[in-house]
């Protein structure tokens, strides 16, 4: 997996130029370059690989996913949103480049990601590119990631349109699971996988995404700044709706364990070292 992360890091650097006006490109590149687990591109590439697709075909889309993820982090950290001063252990984007550039760097990543898919996916057909961009636009916007973020912010303000349980599900599905789903769906499209496989990986990614968010909720409760590279204990302070606040730490751990097991069950037949490693690492952090 380390090798794959190195390939992704190298490609992210290569794909992201710094030209005039440098401030915007530097701001884009800054958060993109902070060391991360690159989980979304890894899952995208591994899905495609398991289905027989070569890595060059899927790399541009995989890197675009990380750009989309980083875009959401930059905007989430803004003072008017979560107001976070740190990200991945470093000052967040607006702390370094100012708020205006952070807003614009996010905007620019949001359009640069699909531009990259179009310009670099030489081996994909026009139909495949349109399908990928359709997935991208649906999941990145008001029907996905942004819907999750909006309901998350509203729930912090105590404004709930649906029940707390439904609201939490909506936030977790849209704020977190959505990018893992997008990752495997794009992987399947690059590999020309059929509908059954598409749904199978989608199911896997949905469950993984929920497990990942519960993991995040638990870590915010039990971890340290040094371990996470971002502020902790913020959820409780802000009265945020999380799996831990709604169901308690013990039930959160149980639900997490069940979801991880279901992920194992779905992916088992593909015999993927990488997916096994991802699941194991996540599991061990919470369940020891």
Q: Which residues bind its own copies (CB under 8 A)?
A: 20-25, 28, 71, 75, 78, 80-81, 98-101, 103-104, 106-108, 110-112, 114-115, 118-119, 125-127, 129-130, 133-134, 136-138, 140-142, 146-147, 149-151, 153-154, 161-162
What gap in Å lies between CA 132 and CA 60, rounded to an integer?
Answer: 11
Q: Give bridge partners of residue 90 from the DSSP assignment.
A: 87
Closest approach of its own copies to the CB of residue 50, in Å: 26
What gap in Å lies between CA 2 and CA 198, rounded to an integer?
Answer: 26
CB of 107 or CB of 277, closer to its own copies: 107
Phi first, then psi, for residue 149 (nearest 5°) are -65, -40
CB of 17 or CB of 89, closer to its own copies: 17
Enclosing H/E stretch for 210: helix 195-222
What gap in Å lies between CA 164 and CA 237, rounded to an integer?
Answer: 18
- Name 111's Cβ contacts closer than 8 Å, sequence gap at least 6: none
Closest approach of its own copies to the CB of residue 117, in Å: 9
Closest approach of its own copies to the CB of residue 157, in Å: 10
CB of 49 or CB of 69, closer to its own copies: 69
CB of 96 or CB of 133, closer to its own copies: 133
CB of 27 or CB of 39, closer to its own copies: 27
Q: What is the CA radius of gyration of the chain?
A: 18
* The two three-digit tokens of residue 93, written as one number: 């984007």
Is 125 in contact with 144 (CB distance < 8 Å)? Answer: no
Closest approach of its own copies to the CB of residue 59, in Å: 18
Closest approach of its own copies to the CB of residue 189, in Å: 13
Closest approach of its own copies to the CB of residue 283, in Å: 32
CB of 29 or CB of 283, closer to its own copies: 29
Q: Count the Cβ atoms, other than its own, within 10 Å of residue 65.
A: 30
């Amino acid at each position: 997996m380390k090798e794959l992360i190195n390939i992704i890091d190298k490609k992210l650097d290569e794909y992201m130029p710094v030209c005039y006006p440098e401030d915007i490109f530097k701001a884009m590149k800054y958060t993109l370059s902070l060391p991360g687990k690159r989980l979304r591109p890894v899952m995208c590439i591994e899905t495609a690989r398991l289905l027989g697709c070569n890595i060059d075909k899927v790399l541009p889309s995989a890197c675009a996913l990380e750009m989309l993820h980083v875009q959401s982090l930059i905007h989430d950290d803004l003072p008017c949103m979560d107001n976070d001063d740190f990200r991945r252990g470093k000052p967040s984007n607006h702390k370094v480049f100012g708020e205006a550039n952070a807003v614009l760097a996010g905007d620019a990543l949001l359009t640069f990601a699909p531009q990259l898919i179009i310009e670099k996916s030489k081996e994909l057909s026009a139909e495949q590119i349109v399908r990928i961009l359709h997935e991208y636009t649906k999941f990145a916007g008001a029907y996905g990631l942004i819907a999750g973020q909006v309901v998350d912010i509203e729930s912090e303000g105590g404004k709930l349109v649906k029940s707390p349980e439904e609201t939490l599900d909506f936030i977790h599905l849209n704020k977190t699971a959505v990018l893992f789903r997008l990752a495997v769906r794009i992987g399947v499209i690059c590999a020309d996988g059929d509908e059954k496989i598409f749904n199978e990986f989608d199911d896997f990614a949905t469950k993984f995404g929920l497990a990942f968010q519960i993991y995040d909720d638990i870590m915010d409760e039990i971890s340290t700044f040094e371990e996470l590279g971002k502020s902790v204990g913020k959820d409780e302070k802000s009265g945020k709706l999380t799996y831990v606040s709604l169901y308690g730490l013990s039930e959160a751990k149980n639900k997490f364990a069940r979801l991880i097991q279901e992920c194992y069950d779905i992916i088992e037949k593909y015999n993927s070292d990488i997916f096994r490693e991802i699941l194991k690492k996540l599991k061990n952090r919470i369940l020891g």
